[in-house]
Structure 1
Amino acid sequence: MALKPNNTLQIGDVHITALTDGSVSFDPRVLFPDDPLNVWAPYYDRFPEYFSGQFFQNNLGSFVFTSGDQRVLADTGFGPHGEMLGHPAPGELINDFQRNHIPFDSITTVFMTHLHGDHVGWNLREDLEDRPLSFPNARYRVHVADWNHFTTREMLSDADRGTATNRSVIPIQERGVLDLMAGETELAPGITAFPTPGHTPGHMSLLVASRNERALLVGDILGSPMQATETELRYSPDWDGPMGIKARNNILDQAEVTNSIVIGSHLSFPGWGTMIRWEGRRYWKSL
C-alpha cells in the first residue's frame, strides 16, 4: 500500500482516487434516534474533522479505481439537486473530475453500492438540457435486489423515496446501459463487488486485492467513524437494522483479520483508514 499526496492511494496494481460531491451536516439524533447526544461526546476529540459542534459532517464520497485500461467509478453523489439533502448548492463531483484530470469517457464501469439518492445523482448530466449520460462509455452496475426494491410501483410513486430513482436510475435502464448483478462479480482485474445487504436489500461492497495488498470499499455500512466502535447502535437509514449491524461487524472483522484498508463513502475526505485496537475496543483511524 502506497499513500500518495492528498487524495490518491495505491493498492498493488490498482490506483484509487478519492473524489467528493461535497458534504452535508446531520443531527446525530436523526441518524441514531435511540441514542442521546452525549453518546458521541467521547469522540469529539478523536474525530474533530467529523464534527461541527454536535453535528456530523458527512462527506459524499466517490472513488475511481484504475486497473490496467479499466476504470471503475464507485457511486455518483447527490448530483445537481442539492435540495434533496438540504444542501445549498449542486454537487461538486463533475468539477472534481475535472480538477483531477479524469476524463468522463475513461470510466468503463459505474458501480452503485446501492440506490439511495446520494449515491446515484450524477448518473446523468441532469444540469444539461438533454440529460446525457455523465459517463458515456460506462456500463452501470447494481445488485438486482436493490433494483427490485427501489423500482416497485409503491416506491416510484412516493414523492420522497422515488424521486432519485425516477430521475437518475430509471433513465439508465431505459438507455440500455444498466447491468444487474446477483452475487459476487469481478468488475476489473483485482476489483470484485460482493453483497453486503442490510443498509439496503442489495447493498454491495468492493474488495480490491492486488500484490498481497487489500482494501475494502464498504459504502454505507460504515456511515460514520464512530460506528467502527459502536457497531450495535441502530442506524436509522438502514433498511434492516439487525442485518445492517451484522454486515458491519462482518466486514470490519474481515478488515482487521486481513489488515485491509477500509474506505467509507461518508467518512471524512478522502475516506480511507484502518481498524486499530485501544483498551480492547476497535476504532477507526484515518490514514
Structure 2
Amino acid sequence: MQWQIGDVKITRVVELEIPGGTRFLLPQATPEAVLPYAEWLAPHFMTPEGKLIMSVHALVVETPTRKIIVDTCIGNDKERDIPTWNKLQLPFLEDLQKAGYAREDIDTVLCTHLHVDHVGWNTMLVDGKWIPTFPNARYLIAKSEYEYWDAEASEGINAGVMEDSVRPVFDAGLVDLIDVEHQVCEEVRLEPTPGHTPGHVSIHITSKGQEALITGDCFHHPCQMAHTDWASTADFDSAASTSTRESLLAQYSDQDLLVIGTHFATPTAGHIKSGKQGYWFRAFAD
C-alpha cells in the first residue's frame, strides 16, 4: 500500500494485522462501546462483532533525497512478554524488499518512540549477536525519549528493548539524538505529540502543497477520535495523551491532511472529520 504526497512516496510494510487482542491496550473500547460507531469503523477497523482490528507496520518515506523508515515494528527473535510477539519469525525484510527497498537502501531510521513494537527491526540477530538491520542509516531518536528509557528500568511490556533493539545501534555509532521538533529534510519534520511516552513524536510530511501525518501512538485506533479519553494502558501520562489527541483533532479535522495511523488496519490512512456527534475518521478507501 502506497500514498503520494507531492514528491514524497510513502509505502506501508506490514508485520502483523489481527483482530481482537486489544482489550489490554484500550480497555474502554469494548464491543458494546464501539458498536455505535460501526458506520465508520466497520469493516476496516472493527469486526461485525465489535472487535478492534489493528496493525503493526513500518512506513517507508521516500523523498527526493532520503529513504526513511518510520518505526521498525516488533522484529524477529526477540524475547517478549506478549506471547504473540515472542520470538517471531516473519518475512518482514523480504516484504520490505518486495516493496522496493533493500535494508541497505535505508539511510534514515525514525522512531516515534522507544516501545517494543516500534524498534524491533532496529536490529537483527546474526551469529548470536544483535547488529543494526540498516547499516547505512542514521537512527534518529528524540533525546528526551532516550533519556527517559535509559534511566528507567525496562520492565513489563518494554523489558529487554533497550538491550536488544536500542543499545546495539548506539554501540555501532549510528544514533543521532535529536530535538522533538527536528527537521529531518525539506519535506519531513517531527511534531511533538507527548503523552504516550515523554518524548513521543509524530512525523509531518509536506510537499507541493500536500500534507500527511504519521501518528505514532498518539492514536492507537480511530475509535480514539470519537473518545479522546480512551487512553492506552501503555500511556506514560494519560491526561497528556488525551490533550494531545484533542489538540490534533482540533487542528487537523476537515483538512486535506492525510492521517496515516501507525497501528491503523488496512487501509491505514484517511481524513479526520467533524460532525454533530464529534470527530470521526473517513478511511481513504471509502
CA contact (8 A) 1:139 1:179 kept: yes
- 2:116: which partner in 1? 117
What is the match of residue 219 of structure 1?
216
- CA shift, 1:34, in A, is 4.8
Q: In 1, distance between residues paired with 2:281 and 2:142? A: 28
Q: Which runs of 5+ in 1 are unaligned?
A: 1-6
Corresponding residue of 1:50 = 45
Amino acid of the structure 2 residue aligned with 1:48: P
Mapped pair 1:281 → 2:275:
no
Q: Deviations over 1:156-179 (max 9, x none)?
A: 4x3653312211011111111111
User: For 1:148, what is the secondary structure of its paired residue?
Assistant: helix
**What's the CA shift string for 1:185-242, capped at 9, x where partnerless?**
1112210012211000010111101111111111111101111111122322211001
CA distance in 2: counterparts of 1:17 and 1:128, whole angstroms = 31
Native 8 Å contact 1:112 1:119 kept in 2? yes
Name stretches of at least 5 consecutive residues in structure 2 with no aligned partner. Answer: none
What is the CA distance between 1:50 and its match in structure 2? 2.5
Do residues 259 (structure 1) and 256 (structure 2) align?
A: yes
How has the CA–CA distance of structure 1 residues 205 and 60 changed in structure 2, closer, same or farther, with 3 Å as cutoff? Answer: same
Q: Could you tell me whether the CA contact under 8 Å between 2:254 and 2:272 is conserved in 1?
A: no
- Structure 1 residue 251, shift from structure 2 partner: 1.8
Q: Does 2:63 align with 1:64?
A: no
Aligned partners of 1:224, 1:34: CA distance in 2, in Å? 12
**Range 63-72 or range 158-167, more displaced:** 158-167
Q: Structure 1 stretch 252-261 or stretch 240-249: which is displaced more?
A: 252-261
TM-score of the aligned structures, taking structure 2 as reference length: 0.89
CA distance in 2 between counterparts of 1:95 and 1:270 reads 21
Distance 1:214 1:24, change over 3 A: same
Equivalent AA in structure 2 for residue 122 of structure 1: W
Q: Distance in 1 between matches of 2:123 and 2:278?
A: 42
Aligned to 2:92: 93
TM-score, normalised to structure 1, is 0.89
Identity of aligned residues (%): 27
Could you tell me which residue of structure 2 aligns to residue 33 of structure 1? 27
- Supply the AA of the counterpart residue of 2:182: T
Give the equivalent residue in structure 2 for 1:103.
102
Tell me, in whole angstroms, the C-alpha distance in 2 between the residues paired with 1:122 and 1:205.
Answer: 19
Task: Tell me, yes or no, if the aligned pair for 1:216 and 1:255 is still in contact at 8 Å.
Answer: no
Once the two structures are overlaid, the 10-residue window that deviates more, 33-42 or 206-215, is 33-42
- Equivalence for 2:196: 199
